[in-house]
Structure 1
Amino acid sequence: MVLTYQTDSYAQELDTDVVSCCAAEHKLPVDGRPTRVQCHEVVLADTVLFPEGGGQPDDRGTIGGQPVLRVLRRGAEPVHLLEGPLAVGERVHVAVDWARRWDHMQQHSAQHLITAVLDQLYGCTTTSWALREASFCTIELDSAQLTAEQLVKAEERANQLIREARPVTVSVHQAGDAALNGVRARGLPDDHVGAVRIVSIAGVDDNMCCGTHVSNLAHLQAVKLLSAERGKKGRTNVSFLAGQRLLDYVAESARRETQLNLTLKCGPGDYATVLDKWQRTMKAGQRAARDVLRQLADAEAERFWRPGERFLSVHQPHGDAEFMSAVVSAVGDGTVPVLVTVGGADGAPGSLLLSGPPALVERLGPRLCELMDGKGAGKNGRFSAKLGSLKQRAQADRLLREEIESSTES
């Protein structure tokens, strides 16, 4: 049986009967994580909801007022997942989430168009494609390379065909029909049964496909080929946007450009120059800061040689790993206990480096982590850790002093 979604992609609702309903468990995304959910598998006599297939995600919508969690394909049969049950034989109203469906139609038809254009212009065969949610779509080609010039030419040709408003039609055929000969396809699913659909772009392409499509290329509005990047196994990934998704991308780009104009105090044509200047200034500042920290590390190390000092403890809120290493290296050969911490300003996390006799470091390191909510490891007389809090930093010096005194007494 041919269902409504297969013959009329623009149908948004219908009334139909429940054929079956059974309890089931499926892994569904909950708060972004796959979670096993108790639900009901519902099969309808007819449906406007597309099940996942052909690289196109499944539809969302409602059945009898209940939100549809997923639509799966089982052989030739769409299976709708609902939270609650429906009675067999019940008459229900089915409605599709049209914004989602329209987006999928535009991106899928654009993929057919771009695939055909790249094949005709450069002999590139599409091996797969991905329709991502709220992002760009990707076509994988069997070609190892596609130049920027080729990408521009392909985009120009695709948009020319859109301006020509080429019709897009769907025909349904039985297996073995002569009309299927020579039709572009990447193969039918192993569990496919029944009729085969051909999606045709007039004068451009005939493609075996189960997805939903626009009825005219004009409905795509425009396509943009964003990039062609080297993929795996000598293939190329072409990223693209079409229709409303492209308009949304342009709107977001314009908003971002306006914000950058205010931040950089220049127009788009000067972005590169201004950012290059900022980068050079930042690198010079970083070099100067490192020099100051090295000098500070040397100064802290010199404090150790004051009479009566048995260990060195240093805390620098604006220090880094290089500062800690510099302090430890400046003190000596590792026989002197040295505790250096950095970070912790305004309650931020920090880091720790403990150096000294291996036995002392091995005993004290884990205790310091426990004291300052840290996690670390060490060997050969050095222990480093990330610290969650430095509120007990003063207590760390007390522990170090007690450990040294204990070692001296023993």
Structure 2
Amino acid sequence: MEKLYEQDAYLRAFDAQVLSCVQGKGGWDVILDRTAFYPEGGGQPYDTGTLGNVKVLQVHTRGEDVVHTCDGPLEPGSRVSGQINWDRRFDLMQNHSGEHIVSGIANAWWGCDNVGFHMGSDFITIDLNTMIDEEQLRQLEEAVNRYLWQDKPVLVTYPTPEELERLDYRSKKALTGQVRIITFPGADVCACCGTHVSSAGQIGLVKLVSVQKFRDGVRIELLCGGRALDYLSRVDIQNKAVSNLLSAKAGETAQGVQRLLEENAALKSRILTMEEQHFAALAHGCAGAGDVVLFEDDLSPDALRRLCDTVLGECQGRCACFSGSDETGYKYAVGQRGGDLRTWVKTLNQTLNGRGGGKPDFVQGSLRAPRADIETFLEM
């Protein structure tokens, strides 16, 4: 089979003869005498497009053959025109080429290997067997983009075994047979079967989005070309929206958010103090009352727990606290010092469409029932 994608990554349309067509699990598996469709491999996803009037859904290798899984059959022996989904192909070319430059420069700087590479539908990930921090990531990103500005041509060569012996190149595994070498002059030399841009400038932009510890090294998330531009545009739109909400300059939104967080923390502290004072007053009013039932508005589960615990110290009986509404349901916290509420709370949940539990003497949960039904159950 003639692999046209290895000869010209920019070839979008071609003619071929159908050698075979059989129905498989995912559709009709078509083998041609020549193809420009890149099959999944080397970390790069497959191409999609059309063959005649059928869609190419997946492309994989099977031995020496490239198998095109289509949504309909093609007649063996017939001639067919193929059309590559160019937007997808060029996106993959940009991101695969960008990965080469990032991995090559990282290898030159830190002597590390690319031990994992995945081209997802959102981010590209590279796994390096070394540790780098955020500042090193920023320096790497700057170096990669400065390399793009030089717009050096990308070279595709097929060295002889003797030439390969003398060549210093990256490869994840031992290779046999004819080896295809992709060279980004001054950045990377790597054995690779994928499709790449013809010059570094066509990548356009590389954005290293994040770095995090992964196994014995790090995992870098990156975006190249159109994906990087789309990502930065979305981030810019979000930052402008935050800027407007904060009445802060676009470059000062972090300070604005920090100010809001500090104000929020102060308000939470003030609310907590007021809640504690209110709970203490309620508990004082329940001193020696025995069993107590309280309905309070707009309490969080934690506040409800604190209220119940405070009242338990005064009431000398069982305390049942509820917060919510007939429309949304009620959260509950129920306690009884030295008591065993397990059977009681099971009956409560079964009767009032509830769920929850806890320790024998203290339980929390929620009910989907009106207040009147809750009060009737407690009166029982």
Indicate the SS of the match to 1:339: strand
Are the structure 2 counterparts of residues 392 and 370 from structure 1 closer, same or farther at C-alpha, using a change threshold of 3 Å?
farther
What's the offset of the Cα at 1:146? 4.8
Cα deviation digits, residues 9-56 of structure 1 (max 9, x gap): 11122232333333333xxxxxxxxxxxx5333333322222221111
What's the offset of the Cα at 1:171? 3.1
Indicate the SS of the match to 2:365: strand
Alignment of 1:253-402 (within 5 A): 253-305=235-287, 311-332=291-312, 336-344=317-325, 347-348=327-328, 350-356=330-336, 361-387=341-367, 389=368, 391-402=369-380
Partner in structure 1 of residue 226 of structure 2: 244
Query: Which one of 194, 197, 210 corresponds to residue 180 of structure 2?
Result: 197
Partner in structure 2 of residue 139 of structure 1: 126
Partner in structure 1 of residue 191 of structure 2: 208
Cα deviation digits, residues 140-185 of structure 1 (max 9, x gap): 222223561x444433433333222211132346xx7334333321
Are the structure 2 counterparts of residues 116 and 301 from structure 1 closer, same or farther at C-alpha, using a change threshold of 3 Å?
same
Contact 1:138 1:239 in 2 (8 A): yes
- TM-score with structure 2 setting the length: 0.86
Whole-Å separation in 1 of the counterparts to 2:174 and 2:31: 22
| Aligned-residue identity in percent | 27
Are the structure 2 counterparts of residues 229 and 362 from structure 1 closer, same or farther at C-alpha, using a change threshold of 3 Å?
closer
Indicate the SS of the match to 2:35: coil
Are the structure 2 counterparts of residues 380 and 152 from structure 1 closer, same or farther at C-alpha, using a change threshold of 3 Å?
closer
Cα deviation digits, residues 66-85 of structure 1 (max 9, x gap): 33332223333332333433
Gaps of 5+ in 2: none
Question: Cα RMSD (Å) of the superposition?
Answer: 3.0
1:67 aligns with 2:55: yes
- TM-score with structure 1 setting the length: 0.81
Are the structure 2 counterparts of residues 88 and 8 from structure 1 closer, same or farther at C-alpha, using a change threshold of 3 Å?
same
Whole-Å separation in 2 of the counterparts to 1:274 and 1:68: 50
**Match of 1:396, as an amino acid?**
I
What's the offset of the Cα at 1:304? 4.0
Count the aligned residue pairs.
377
Indicate the SS of the match to 2:58: strand
Partner in structure 2 of residue 8 of structure 1: 8
Contact 1:146 1:236 in 2 (8 A): no
Query: Which one of 197, 204, 216 corresponds to residue 221 of structure 1?
Result: 204
What's the offset of the Cα at 1:363? 2.8
Whole-Å separation in 1 of the counterparts to 2:354 and 2:65: 55
Partner in structure 2 of residue 177 of structure 1: 161
Contact 1:300 1:314 in 2 (8 A): no
**Match of 2:184, as an amino acid?**
I
Indicate the SS of the match to 1:332: helix
Indicate the SS of the match to 1:62: strand
Contact 2:291 2:319 in 1 (8 A): yes
Whole-Å separation in 1 of the counterparts to 2:354 and 2:75: 57
Whole-Å separation in 2 of the counterparts to 1:12 and 1:329: 72
Are the structure 2 counterparts of residues 270 and 162 from structure 1 closer, same or farther at C-alpha, using a change threshold of 3 Å?
closer
What's the offset of the Cα at 1:124? 2.6
Whole-Å separation in 1 of the counterparts to 2:133 and 2:277: 52
Indicate the SS of the match to 1:313: strand
Which stretches of structure 1, 4 residues or more, deviate above 6 A after TM superposition?
Answer: 357-360
Whole-Å separation in 2 of the counterparts to 1:64 and 1:350: 62
Are the structure 2 counterparts of residues 292 and 214 from structure 1 closer, same or farther at C-alpha, using a change threshold of 3 Å?
same
Alignment of 1:117-156 (within 5 A): 117-135=105-123, 137-146=124-133, 148=135, 150-156=136-142
**Match of 2:146, as an amino acid?**
Q
Indicate the SS of the match to 2:57: strand
**Match of 1:329, as an amino acid?**
D
Are the structure 2 counterparts of residues 107 and 344 from structure 1 closer, same or farther at C-alpha, using a change threshold of 3 Å?
farther
**Match of 1:187, as an amino acid?**
K
Whole-Å separation in 2 of the counterparts to 1:43 and 1:188: 29
Indicate the SS of the match to 1:11: coil
